[in-house]
Amino acid sequence: SGVFQCFAMNMFDLYRTTLDALFASNSKLINWFPSSTFAGCSFNMGPFTATWPHTDSYNLAFGWCAITALGNFDPDCGGHLIFWDLGLVIRFPPGSTILIPSALLTHSNTPINQGEERYSIVQYSSSGLFRWVYNGFKSGKDFMETASPTEKRKHEEDRKARWGNGLGMFSFWKDICSKYT
């Protein structure tokens, strides 16, 4: 969460306030990782964790997820991250963490050598959680059935502006540098 806050301050705030509101709304919810800003976590237990090219279409469209590589493998020979849309292959050694917009970028990783082990931990937040909180802790259908005409108009205006607002949450390098210098 610290890296997320450093490099995407506005998006971090959206994730944090959404998650805080979600847990405050229902005392039966359990926050398994209170220091994390992400709502979900998957442990890919390998021992040869590799993925096919994919996007994480259920994650927040403009949001980030955190991927951590673990295990005992030669990062020069395997376990690389591939970002197909960008034409990039990135060396990704054990212990490394990267934040990516996983719903936008088609990504995968390369296999590792025989006898090696690769695991991963992926932290993310489903877009449905953001909609649930935005809709006043209701489904979209329930919100529309109970909303006033004014609330429905605002909801539609917000929906149309959401993509641009999401892009506005990405940080520029100059802003990151100025915050820490």
pLDDT tens digit sequence for 93-151 = 999 999 999 999 999 999 999 999 999 999 999 999 999 999 999 999 999 999 999 99
Listed residue (167, 164, 140) closest to 151, CA to CA: 140
Which residues, in sequence order, are bridge partners of residue 109? 81
Q: What is the pLDDT of residue 27?
A: 94
Higher pLDDT, 75 or 61: 75
In the predicted model, is pLDDT for residue 1 greater than 80?
A: no
Confirm if 91 and 80 have CB atoms less than 8 A apart. Answer: yes
CATH, domain range 2-180: 2.60.120.10
Q: What is the pLDDT of residue 87?
A: 98
Q: What is the mean pLDDT of residues 144-168?
A: 92
Confirm if 8 and 98 have CB atoms less than 8 A apart. Answer: no
Give CA angle at 122 (118, 127), nearest 5°: 155
Q: Is the dihedral of CA 138, 139, 145, 150 positive or negative?
A: positive
Secondary structure in 3-state letters for 52-65:
CCECCCCECCCCCE
CA distance 81 to 65: 14
Side chain identity at 112, as an amino acid letter? I
CA distance 50 to 137: 36
The position carrying tokens 């237990």 is 45
- The pTM of this model reads 0.89
Residue 6: band (very low, low, confident or very high) from pLDDT cuts 50, 70, 90: confident
Q: Which of 31-35, 61-65, 140-144, 173-177 shows the lowest mean pLDDT across its residues?
A: 173-177
